[in-house]
Amino acid sequence: MTKHIEKSRVKVLADNEAQKLFQKFAAPLFRVANSVTRKKGAHELAKEDIIKPTSFYSRESEKTKLNWFCYEIALSIELDIKRNLGKELMKYKIDDKAIAEFSIYYSKAMKEIILQKLNGKIKTVIHSYEPIESYFPKINDKMVNKMLDLIAKAWDEQLSVCVNCPNRCISEKDVYCTMFDNDYYK
């Protein structure tokens, strides 16, 4: 009996190709991670993220749990938009970097609305189309609505994760967040 060795169909990846592949698979892991340890692992795989915790503070006093929540919301928004609209947005010359930067911008814009909700000034958090239109003035209304739907979905999913998260980012919004100092996120 003769064995035939077939040419391998496995593609050998260069280091940068392997890193990009790991990043692609790590991003979805972050959202479904149900513990701090698993979230750290997802972040470790996706080291090259454009969205970094440093995007949410400029001085030590801004390392609050509310800003950490904004960081996590930005990651969720970025993931949903890239996954569901990335190809369509390329028609508008909106690439992954622009999506990530927009996600940071939008999550920071949401901070005031979150504070209004916590202070009882508003009953319901409403996601507005205005930040989308001001950031991406060339996209049409249909695309704005698609993005808005994904932002609302990311918001709801993030809040569902928060229910079981021990960090209590919303209820302890002004408390110093040690996650900003964690080496896993640097």
- Determine, yes or no, domain membership for 36: no
Q: What is the mean pLDDT of residues 178-186?
A: 84
Cα 118 to chain center, whole Å? 22
Q: Is the pLDDT of residue 170 over 70?
A: yes
Residue 17 lies in a domain: no
Looking at every residue in the chain, the average pLDDT score rounds to 82
pLDDT at 115: 87
**Confidence at 50, pLDDT banded by 50, 70, 90:** confident
98 assigned to some structural domain? yes
Is the residue at 144 inside a domain? yes
46 pLDDT higher than 70 = no
User: How many domains does one find in the chain?
Assistant: 1
| Mean pLDDT (whole number) for 89-95 | 95
